[in-house]
Structure 1
Amino acid sequence: MADPKDPQDDDAHLRETRVSSEQVFRGGFLDVRRDAVRLPDGSTAQREYVVHPGAVMVVPILDDGRLVIERQWRYPLDRAFIEFPAGKLDAGEGAFACAVRELAEETGYRAGEWARAGVLHNAIGYSNEVIEIWFARELRLGERRLDHGEFLDVQTTTLEALEADAAAGSLTDAKTLIALLWLRHWRDGRWDLHWQPTPAHLQGQ
């Protein structure tokens, strides 16, 4: 009996194979690589990209349906952005644990229930970053624990207001726009979310 066909076989004519790799920069956060790759036609090229530890984004939903958002200064673009809470994974940390931690640290909210929506790749041309999207509800407010050097405002709003901001061009953060897509499809009954209670070992985050 023949082995099942590997779905990746359909991409064989597109695949690039690493020949060599070098680290060109390593900072406190970013790890920049330059690889030589073999192209499908046998020729070679260079690929420069950022190695990222991974991150999470949380869509916090209050009991009345309002959403918890943040306004935070983003230095590379020299302006403040409206975003859902998000943050990178610590070494050895799972995405769910990171989501629970980031929500509590940045907003002060703890959630009774969570649902994993999916993942997004926000910079596929130059980074391997993966952001997991989590939804949180049954929120209760506690104390924030911001990281040193972290400054942000916590606000509440509605899905409709955020959609209006997106339409007007004032909401441009890619991960937050993707979250709005998930939220709208879920609210309208087109996409499912499977909710689970916060595990006991994470409730004290």
Structure 2
Amino acid sequence: MPSDTHLRERTLRREELLRGNFLRVVRDVVELPDGGQASREYVVHPGAVMIVPLLDDGRLLMERQYRHAVAQVMTEFPAGKLDAGEEPLRAAMRELTEETGYTAREWARAGRLHPCIGYSDEFIEIWFARGLTPGRSQLDAGEFVEVIDATPDQLRDWCRDGTITDAKTLTGALWVQQVLAGAWNLDWQTPSSPP
């Protein structure tokens, strides 16, 4: 990979514009590669996890949830934000159980995605889970989730026809396709204890 120093910006100062319960918005003044200055406004996010749960029969565990920002019910893989100091695997284990009621025997980290690089520092760690055992969900107050399942072909079709437009789930679908085709390998592990 070639050097990227000629593209980098250096932060000179930061101003906090908004601090909410979940997110912060900041404005940085940066020095540009040519010595000029510019401002950059963006959302500071604690990070998140997304889980691709594989059922024993080859179907995928998914969910439907109303998302206020886009004013519609979205079909997506289970996901949630990291709590302060929480390791991504522990967050993935916690979110799978909270949102779907399922626990998993084995886990594999697939990778990381940045869903909105133009205006947020958010990252999402992608985890696969298998050896699923059903249980009771533990939804937060005010959280309403419908757990569904889909075949890999249904997932592909929903991505193509616009049923799924969520960026993290579209990325998860790419991972599912490549893993099932044997093109991308996963390093499965069995965690020693539940979250």
TM-score interval for Structure 1 and Structure 2 normalised by the shorter chain: over 0.9
Q: Which residue of 1 aligns with 2:60?
A: 67
| Secondary structure class of the residue paired with 2:139 | coil
Q: Which of the numbers 105, 118, 124 marks the counterpart of 1:112?
A: 105
**Deviation per residue, 1:168-191 (Å, 9 max, x gap):** 112100000000101110110100
| Secondary structure class of the residue paired with 1:183 | helix
Give 4+ residue runs of structure 1 displaced > 3 Å after superposition. none
| Secondary structure class of the residue paired with 1:162 | helix
Q: Which residue of 2 aligns with 1:4?
A: none
Q: Which residue of 1 aligns with 2:21?
A: 28
Q: Hey, what's the Cα distance between the residues in 1 that align with 2:133 and 2:21?
A: 34
Q: Which residue of 2 aligns with 1:3?
A: none
% identity of equivalent residues = 55
Q: Which of the numbers 117, 123, 128 marks the counterpart of 1:130?
A: 123
| Secondary structure class of the residue paired with 1:193 | coil
**Deviation per residue, 1:68-104 (Å, 9 max, x gap):** 1000000011000000000000111110000000000
Q: Which residue of 2 aligns with 1:179?
A: 172
Q: Which residue of 1 aligns with 2:3?
A: 10
Letter in 2 for 1:21: R
Displacement of 1:162 in angstroms is 1.0
Q: Hey, what's the Cα distance between the residues in 1 that align with 2:169 and 2:131?
A: 21
**Deviation per residue, 1:92-133 (Å, 9 max, x gap):** 111000000000000000000000000001111111111000
Return the index of the structure with the highest Cα Rg.
1
Q: Which residue of 2 aligns with 1:46?
A: 39
Contact 1:90–1:98 at 8 Å: present in 2 too?
Answer: yes
Give the total of aligned pairs: 195
| Secondary structure class of the residue paired with 1:106 | helix
Unaligned runs of 5+ in 1: 1-6
Alignment RMSD (CA, Å): 1.0
Q: Hey, what's the Cα distance between the residues in 2 that align with 1:97 and 1:45?
A: 39
Q: Which residue of 2 aligns with 1:37?
A: 30
Unaligned runs of 5+ in 2: none
Q: Hey, what's the Cα distance between the residues in 1 that align with 2:94 and 2:22?
A: 19
Displacement of 1:199 in angstroms is 1.9
Q: Which residue of 1 aligns with 2:148?
A: 155
**Deviation per residue, 1:131-177 (Å, 9 max, x gap):** 00000000000111001110010001111101101111121000000
Superposition TM-score, scaled by structure 1 size: 0.93
Q: Hey, what's the Cα distance between the residues in 1 that align with 2:27 and 2:42?
A: 7
